[in-house]
């Protein structure tokens, strides 16, 4: 990022202050006129003409009142820019770090994402699994979540979760303990950790992974926000694993989103005598979720298309990480030889890109496990 905010970025940052995520009226406005015009409309109170207004004029007017109510909370561009000094960055659709798979959310795609942490969100989510479950986890559930998270992290998958007590925390900690990357998607500002008891955990996640939120810094959680947030966890990850969940657990809400988004849905069985496994059994029995008993099975179910071994037939996630690459990285990946390794300069020549750009792309591709270092430079990853 440079040291000025472009209009589109500021407009989208502003919208995260003015509207709650997945607001259908704002989606209509964005689709018709883009973020800059939308922000201008809210600021001036003058609705531009919208040919397609499925919600009706009255709904749009009432939304306008709602959005304008928050105008006093909106910081000016230089204050938004100042968050960078606190290690907080904003990404929006089209940015290199924007995870393309969020487009699967359609009108409910986030307006922008606030991030805090070292890891690249887009590249780490290319090979990732959401591990979710109950806050009131049992010792069994916490053990399994930590164990599976550590093991999939070792296999190069990022572990995505919601930063809550119980299964979420066990999953994050398991990935961190295995020196893996973990992503916490919060329902509050990335600088306003909830629960507060997880302040140290969030710092550790920021140091080794990344914290993401649709809400601007300083915002607090609400019950509804947890539910809205869940669709982002499901959409970011290649698949969702439910470790322990009661029949009314919020984790089942995430699972439902994963299913509706055609992501791989998995669940860990447990004792039928445990209420906290009832939701997992429901996922397996009624939602065609896959019963998994080991991290190896999780990794197998998330194998990218084309990387399956012989005998492992179809029925894998529709999401091909290669489809989510930015153009330069895709060129670099295409330029890699099928066998053996190449130096960065040779790759740059084959890809038709500058060596510096090629080096940056190789780094990102390596993070996603698509290439790896070898004696004479770089080669395709063995994933």
Residue whose structure tokens are 């990480």:
321
Helix axes 327-335, 355-367, angle to 10 degrees: 90
**Closest approach of a second copy to the CB of residue 350, in Å:** 43
Smaller CB separation from a second copy, 84 or 285: 285
| 217, 191 Cβ separation under 8 angstroms | yes
Q: Least separation, in Å, of the C-beta of 140 and a second copy?
A: 6
Widest CA span of the chain, in angstroms? 65
Angle value at C-alpha 91, between 86 and 97, nearest 5 degrees = 110
Vertex 232: Cα angle to 94 and 199 (nearest 5): 105
Binding site for a second copy (CB under 8 A): 140, 143-144, 268-273, 277-278, 281, 284-285, 290-294
Instruction: Closer to a second copy by CB, 56 or 271: give it.
Output: 271
With respect to a second copy, which residue has the nearer C-beta, 94 or 269? 269
Shortest spacing between CB 351 and a second copy, in angstroms? 42
Q: Are 109 and 15 in contact (CB under 8 A)?
A: no
CA nearest to 228, candidates 109, 92, 147, 77 = 109
Nearer to a second copy (CB atom), residue 138 or residue 161: 138
CB of residue 162 vs a second copy: minimum separation in angstroms? 22
CA-nearest of 312, 341, 319, 244 to 283 is 244
**How many Cα atoms sit within 13 Å of 313 on the Cβ side?**
0
Comparing CB distances to a second copy, the nearer of 138 and 213 is: 138
Query: Please, what is the minimum distance in Å from the beta carbon of residue 242 to a second copy?
Result: 13
Cβ 245 to a second copy shortest distance, Å:
13
CA angle 264, 268, 269 (to 5 degrees): 130
Identity of the residue, 76 or 269, whose beta carbon is nearer to a second copy in the bound complex: 269
Nearest to 176 by CA among 198, 191, 192, 195: 198
**Are the beta carbons of 192 and 220 closer than 8 angstroms?**
yes
For a second copy, give the closer residue by CB, 294 or 349.
Answer: 294
CA distance 290 to 285: 9
SS3 for 366-382, per residue? Answer: HHCCCEEEECCEEEECC
Q: Cβ closer to a second copy: 29 or 278?
A: 278
If the CB atoms of residues 174 and 270 are measured against a second copy, the closer one turns out to be: 270
Closest distance to a second copy from the beta carbon of 311 (Å): 13
Least distance in angstroms from the C-beta of 163 to a second copy: 24
Q: Considering the complex, what minimum distance in angstroms separates the CB of residue 174 from a second copy?
A: 15
Q: Which residue, 109 or 277, is less far from a second copy as judged by CB?
A: 277
Whole-number minimum distance, CB 277 to a second copy, in Å?
Answer: 7
Determine the Cα–Cα distance for residues 244 and 267; give it in Å rounded to an integer. Answer: 8
Alpha carbon distance 146, 203 (integer Å): 18
Nearest to 121 by CA among 97, 95, 91, 100: 97
């Amino acid at each position: 990022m440079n040291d000025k905010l472009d209009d589109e970025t500021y407009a989208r940052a502003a919208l995260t202050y003015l509207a709650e995520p997945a607001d259908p009226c704002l989606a209509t406005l964005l689709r018709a006129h883009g973020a800059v015009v939308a922000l201008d409309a809210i600021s001036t109170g003058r609705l531009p003409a919208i040919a397609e207004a499925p919600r009706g004029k009255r709904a749009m007017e009432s939304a306008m009142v709602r959005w304008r109510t928050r105008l006093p909370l909106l910081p000016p561009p230089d204050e938004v820019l100042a968050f960078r000094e606190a290690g907080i960055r904003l990404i929006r659709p089209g940015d290199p770090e924007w995870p393309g798979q969020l487009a699967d959310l359609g009108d409910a795609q986030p307006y922008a994402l606030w991030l805090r942490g070292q890891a690249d969100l887009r590249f780490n989510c290319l090979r990732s699994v959401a591990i979710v479950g109950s806050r009131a986890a049992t010792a069994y559930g916490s053990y399994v979540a930590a164990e599976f998270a550590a093991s999939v992290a070792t296999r190069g998958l990022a572990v995505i979760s919601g930063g809550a007590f119980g299964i979420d925390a066990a999953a994050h900690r398991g990935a961190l303990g295995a020196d893996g990357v973990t992503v916490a998607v919060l329902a509050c500002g990335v600088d306003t950790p909830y629960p507060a008891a997880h302040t140290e955990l969030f710092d550790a996640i920021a140091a080794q992974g990344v914290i993401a939120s649709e809400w601007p810094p300083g915002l607090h959680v609400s019950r509804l926000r947890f539910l809205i947030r869940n669709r982002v966890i499901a959409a970011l990850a290649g698949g969702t694993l439910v470790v322990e969940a009661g029949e009314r657990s919020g984790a089942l809400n995430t699972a439902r989103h994963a299913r509706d988004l055609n992501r791989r849905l998995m669940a860990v069985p447990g004792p039928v005598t445990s209420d906290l496994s009832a939701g997992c059994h429901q996922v397996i029995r009624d939602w065609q979720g896959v019963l998994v008993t080991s991290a190896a099975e999780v990794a197998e179910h998330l194998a990218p298309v084309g990387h399956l071994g012989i005998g492992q037939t179809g029925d894998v996630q529709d999401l091909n990480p290669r489809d989510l690459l930015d153009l330069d990285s895709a060129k670099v990946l295409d330029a890699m030889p099928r066998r053996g390794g190449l130096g960065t300069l040779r790759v740059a020549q084959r890809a038709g890109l500058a060596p510096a750009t090629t080096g940056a792309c190789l780094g990102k591709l390596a993070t996603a496990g698509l290439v790896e270092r070898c004696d004479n430079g770089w080669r395709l990853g063995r994933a």
